[in-house]
Amino acid sequence: MDTSKLIFILTVCTLMPCCMEWDYDLDTDFDTTPEPGSGLFIANEGNYQYGNASLTFYDTETGTVENDVFIRANGQKLGDVAQSMTMHDGTLWITVNNSHVIFAVDPVTFKEKGRITGLTSPRHIYFINDEKAYVTQLWDGRIFIVNPKKYEITGYIDTGMDSGTASTEQIIGFGDMAIVNCWSYQDKILKINTNTDEIEDELRIGIQPAAMVADCNGRLWVLTDGGYEGNPAGHENPALTVVNPETFEIERKFTFYGDGRPSAIEANTAKDSIYFINGGVYRMSVNDKVLPSEAFIESRGTEYCAIGICPFNPEIYVADAIDWQQKGLIYRYSLSGELLDSFRAGINPSSFCWY
Amino acid sequence: MLVLTSFGRMKRTIAIIVTALIFGIPLVTEASGAAGPESPREVADTLQESTVKGFRPLRETGITETRFDSLALKENISISLADILSYNSSLFVKQYGRASMSTVSFRGTSASHTQVLWNGMKINSPMLGMTDFSMIPSFFMDGASLLHGTSSLQSVSGGLGGAVVLKSETPDIKGFEMQYIQGFGSFLTADEFLKIDYGGKRFKSSTRLLLSTSENEFKYVNMDKKEIRYDENMNIVESWHPVERYRSGAWRDFHAMQELGYTTDGGHVFSLSAWYIDSYRQLPQLTVDYGADTDFINEQRESTFRSVASWKKNWDTSKAEISAGYSTTGLDYDYARDKGDGNYVYMTKSRSRTETIYAKAAYERYFGRKWLLTCNAAMHQHFVNSYDESIMVQGNEAEKVGYKASATEISAFVSLKWKPVKRAGLSVSLRENIFRSSFSPVIPAFNADILLVPEWNLFLKGSVSRNYRFPTLNDLYFMPGGNPGLKPESGFSYDTGYSLSRDFNRNFNISAEGYWFDSYIDDWILWVPDGAKKDFYTPLNLMKVHAYGIEQKLKMEWLPADRWKLTFNGNFTWSPSVNCGEPRSEGDESVGKQLVYIPEYSSSFIAGLHYGKWSFFWKWCWYSRRYTMTSNDYTISGSVPPYFMNDITLNRSFDFKRAGLSVSAAVKNLFNEKYLSVLARPMPGINFEIFVGITPKSGKIFQKPRR
């Protein structure tokens, strides 16, 4: 064989490009600087196992939207399944469930201030004070006690639930009491003494208490999703149950009928109205005797998945996941239900946090 | 299509090819004529051996098929069929990591639209509908072919993208043969393969064993997260992307396969194939997981046994085959995290047991030399028991979350092929499917081809068909979320293209194929969250998809000088696969966009340089950007960047008096690419493997084979 031909062929082959394109064009400059009183953070849950959770900032005054602020500010991804957010003492705490981490973030610079790791499957963080917070878990029957200043786990509250079906979810405080709803495969809420970190009482409220909110009368509204057919914990119609946190007794119960799976309960700023999603967005007074029969905001093929009532302006923010695999749409409505505008957030916008 | 099967037979093969190219079509013509010299039986046999003779048998009228030669399948013992398909075909192989789940899709469809047959039996999971190609060692397969698009209907239904047809069989030898290969590679990877074959006058046997293990702890720079360091006041003073170990990625796969064959004096051929898999695989953490690598369990254990028994008989103008099979898979998946005290919290303890009973009868008959009637009926009876042991309320065993289900799947097929003139063939096929108690509409398929230029063996081909894929048992019954009301996915497809082959001066030959394909799939099934809480997903008939594009294949072989040979096998695919349904809501930006995780462009080639007993291969593949969002956003989490991959292999064989010896060295990811196949799943950088194989040739036990 002609050796020169062979060398030519091999040379051409070797020079073929082989580099993977790895540019994301991350824009690290922000068009807005968050100021207290006009900031809205949106945790975009992303898709399970995709690691594509993200954080969006929206300025309620200027309407400026900044997406992917966490990765743009920190050069690292937010993680897998951004579950919830809490603002405490000027720090935004983001619980990233399947990354097993809680990030503390500066709400002005979006930069990470610290992180709590070593968590089993964190869902929500609830602050008792600056040096003590509770972290609820899925599957793990323990509520973790953490020191937010030192970003460390300091103890546990054992709920006694079996692993695998254990679930503690949201926490709402009433004085020295913290009330926890036990959601997945459970049917109760717990009352915890935040001084002793002991469970003082529990109340069976219905199958799968998914979300809670407090009203202006000092009552707790608990939404049970009723599980699903075949659920070993049972299956029943979803319900809204009003609980007196002092006596820890059920005062009223509103049962849902039909095919809906209600979720995402929220109260307005005055806490005299309750909003929830059940296909569309529904609104009822805390004094109503029956569930509303018509949606306050109709579903238009939308997949509403989160709701937030703005504390700064009389506005309602509703997140539409669309098909759960594209940037969700945030609709901004007036309190009368008039659509004001909308903007894009990230994949699966799941929770709002005001700054 | 020309398929060249081995270097050792090159000269003979080339002679056959040249003869076939020059005389092949006239031979067919003669064979097709009443006065031809060959008996009908010879015609039937000749047609079965068509791939090396350069003309298209009636059975393959209008069929788009890619066949893999044994050289590709037997390259080295460590590679799976997923690796073979990555470099040798136009298919998209989605890999979750090294020796992790690998799925394959044709022509812009999904993995569950690829049907996989092994010795005639479907091996797609009845629960998931897809096949993990990383669990199929290529060394265990003696034949593999791809039936693209509508052509898959000739073998199986439900292949909206196509079908992968695998075959293992007893070798055509006399006496004993043995082969033992041992390999070692990076990341503490070890492979061992043993094959013992026997061929007697009537009885044949082939035994294959493969053990593959690896710690698989490669290092990579994790660009998805950062490590941080605090000062004494808990302020972050430093952060960096950590160099991490690939955590929890070890595996241990054991495969055993036994083939038995017996041929009677009357020409009855009985065969039995049995394949056992015992696999233990850890599943790695995501790159965005901040949990410690020592505090969790994430692993999958699979035990699978498959067997197929068959009887075949060829007569002068017809042949018949009856086969029956059984398959069972036990698949356990555990995901748990340490509570910090050595006790684990199990989040998932998935246990599934599937069983499939299979039976098939097939008959084929030539009427004269221009007509061929093919009919067959296949039945698969599936049983599934799937549950999650971690979800037991108050430890109540009877309250496990899961489902038990069974389903009968029957498919009947009849096809009539006709060669009205010497150069043209037509085929009309009908298939009817029954799944549980549902009947699919009759599925018609029409295939045609015409020989345009005999000198170039240039055919124009075309086919059109409908197709249906029934939901899987998970789609229907998975707990929670299964949707018994799902409709089957339905497709309408056509393709048209050419194939050619030519030999120049006995030292250069070329073959090429190219197709335009176009298909519409309605009621595409997608799993979506059921309600805003997203606690579980449910499947819905959500999308209408338009998948179309071009496939192009090119094969060349050049013998530039004595003992030198250059080979090239390249593929290119352009496959837009677009959501063409209605927007779900006013904000839906997915309409008109490429489906997630399906590249619009892909390409691959294998180039070989051979000198005497030396062989050098360069394998290359490229996938364009794969979007992970239906809106095709160009963001860090909205897409997986395109990548090129390069592997090289150097082989040397030695021929000693009492044994043949082969030594092989491979470099994978030659340029140490940092790349992803799936979001948050790292892939290894450059890594190495060496293999040594021995094939005894003589002795008291191992007699020199007489082929």
- Please state the domain extents for chain B: 2-696
Average pLDDT of chain B?
A: 87
CA nearest B235 in A: which residue? A113
Interface of A with B in 302-341 (CB under 8 A): 302-306, 320-329
Q: Cβ of A147 under 8 Å from any chain B Cβ?
A: no
Cα–Cα distance between B539 and A233 in angstroms, integer? 23
Confidence of residue B12 (pLDDT cuts 50, 70, 90): very low
Instruction: Point out the residue among A80, A149, A320 whose CB comes nearest to the CB of B585.
Output: A320
Mean pLDDT, rounded, for B270-278? 97
Q: What is the pLDDT of residues B148-193, one digit of tens each?
A: 999 999 999 999 999 999 999 999 999 999 999 999 999 999 999 9
CB-CB neighbors (< 8 A) of B287 in chain A: 51, 77
Taking an 8 Å cut-off on Cβ atoms, the answer to whether A329 and B646 are in contact is: no
pLDDT at residue A4, rounded to an integer: 57
Q: What is the pLDDT of residues B651-697, one digit of tens each?
A: 999 999 889 999 999 999 999 988 888 899 889 999 999 999 999 98
Identify the helix (H) or strand (E) that includes residue B14: helix B10-19
CB-CB neighbors (< 8 A) of B588 in chain A: 301, 322-323, 326
Taking an 8 Å cut-off on Cβ atoms, the answer to whether A320 and B391 are in contact is: no
pLDDT at residue B11, rounded to an integer: 36
Confidence of residue B28 (pLDDT cuts 50, 70, 90): very low
A215, A196, A210: which is closest to A275 by C-alpha? Answer: A215
Cα–Cα distance between B137 and A173 in angstroms, integer? 58
Q: What is the dihedral of CA B46, B51, B55, B57, to 10 degrees?
A: 60
Taking an 8 Å cut-off on Cβ atoms, the answer to whether A121 and B337 are in contact is: yes
Taking an 8 Å cut-off on Cβ atoms, the answer to whether B286 and A51 are in contact is: yes
The answer to whether residues B127 and B354 touch, using CB atoms and an 8 Å cutoff, is: yes
Which of B221, B287, B288 to mutate to test binding with chain A, by most A CBs within 10 Å of its CB? B288
Please give the single-letter amino acid code of residue B440. Answer: S
Cβ contacts of A102 within 8 Å, gap of 6 or more: A93, A94, A95, A96, A115, A116, A119, A122, A125, A135, A146
Mean pLDDT, rounded, for B539-564? 94
For residue B411, give Cα distances in angstroms to A106, B447, B468: 62, 20, 11
Q: Can you say whether the dihedral through the CA atoms of B384, B389, B395, B400 is positive or negative?
A: negative
Which of B346, B534, B544 to mutate to test binding with chain A, by most A CBs within 10 Å of its CB? B534
Which of B636, B671, B676, B681 to mutate to test binding with chain A, by most A CBs within 10 Å of its CB? B636
Cα–Cα distance between B213 and B235 in angstroms, integer? 44
Mean pLDDT, rounded, for A72-95? 96
**Antiparallel, parallel or unpaired: β B401-421 and B371-388:** antiparallel
CA nearest A17 in B: which residue? B644
pLDDT at residue A17, rounded to an integer: 47
pLDDT at residue A258, rounded to an integer: 81
CB-CB neighbors (< 8 A) of A164 in chain B: 345-347, 349, 390-392
Q: What is the pLDDT of residues A97-112, one digit of tens each?
A: 999 999 999 999 999 9
pLDDT at residue B73, rounded to an integer: 85
pLDDT at residue B342, rounded to an integer: 81
Q: What is the pLDDT of residues B353-377, one digit of tens each?
A: 999 999 999 999 999 989 999 999 9
ipTM of model: 0.91
Q: Cβ of A273 under 8 Å from any chain B Cβ?
A: no
pLDDT at residue B533, rounded to an integer: 63
- The pair of structure tokens assigned to B141 is 């397969």
Taking an 8 Å cut-off on Cβ atoms, the answer to whether B637 and A46 are in contact is: yes
- The pair of structure tokens assigned to B454 is 């005999």
Average pLDDT of chain A?
A: 91
Residues in chain B: 707
Q: Cβ of A109 under 8 Å from any chain B Cβ?
A: no
Q: What is the pLDDT of residues A196-214, one digit of tens each?
A: 999 999 999 999 999 999 9
Which of B345, B388, B564, B589 to mutate to test binding with chain A, by most A CBs within 10 Å of its CB? B345
Percent share of chain A, pLDDT over 90: 84
Q: Cβ of A28 under 8 Å from any chain B Cβ?
A: no
Identify the helix (H) or strand (E) that includes residue B572: strand B564-574
Phi-psi region of A3 (alpha: psi -120 to 50; beta: other; left: phi over 0): alpha
Q: Is the pLDDT of residue B311 over 50?
A: yes
Pairwise pLDDT comparison (B179 vs B35), residue with the higher score = B179
Q: Is the pLDDT of residue B21 over 90?
A: no
Mean pLDDT, rounded, for B1-16? 35
Q: Where are the alpha helices (DSSP H) in chain A?
A: 3-14, 69-74
Shortest distance, CA A35 to any CA of chain B (angstroms): 22
Q: Cβ of A76 under 8 Å from any chain B Cβ?
A: yes
Which of A11, A68, A120, A297 to mutate to test binding with chain B, by most B CBs within 10 Å of its CB? A120
Question: How many A/B residue pairs have CB atoms within 8 Å?
Answer: 253
| CA atoms within a 13 Å half-sphere pointing along the CA-CB vector of A218 | 8
Q: Can you say whether the dihedral through the CA atoms of A116, A122, A128, A132 is positive or negative?
A: negative
Phi-psi region of B168 (alpha: psi -120 to 50; beta: other; left: phi over 0): beta
pLDDT at residue B629, rounded to an integer: 95
Q: Is the pLDDT of residue B430 over 80?
A: yes
Confidence of residue B397 (pLDDT cuts 50, 70, 90): low
Q: Cβ of A25 under 8 Å from any chain B Cβ?
A: yes
Q: What is the pLDDT of residues B98-136, one digit of tens each?
A: 888 899 999 999 999 999 999 999 999 999 999 999 999
Pairwise pLDDT comparison (A64 vs A16), residue with the higher score = A64
Taking an 8 Å cut-off on Cβ atoms, the answer to whether A165 and B393 are in contact is: yes
Percent share of chain B, pLDDT over 70: 89
Which fold does the domain B2-696 belong to in CATH? Maltoporin; Chain A (2.40.170)
Instruction: Point out the residue among B286, B400, B625 whose CB comes nearest to the CB of A232.
Output: B400
Mean pLDDT, rounded, for A123-137? 97
pTM of the prediction? Answer: 0.87
pLDDT at residue B42, rounded to an integer: 37
Q: Is the pLDDT of residue B48 over 60?
A: no
pLDDT at residue B668, rounded to an integer: 94
CB-CB neighbors (< 8 A) of B556 in chain A: none
Taking an 8 Å cut-off on Cβ atoms, the answer to whether A164 and B390 are in contact is: yes
Instruction: Point out the residue among A20, A232, A263 whose CB comes nearest to the CB of B675.
Output: A20
Taking an 8 Å cut-off on Cβ atoms, the answer to whether A115 and B290 are in contact is: yes
DSSP string across B676-706: EEETTEE---SEEEEEEEEEE--SSSSPPP-
Taking an 8 Å cut-off on Cβ atoms, the answer to whether B534 and A305 are in contact is: yes
CB-CB neighbors (< 8 A) of A163 in chain B: 344-346, 390
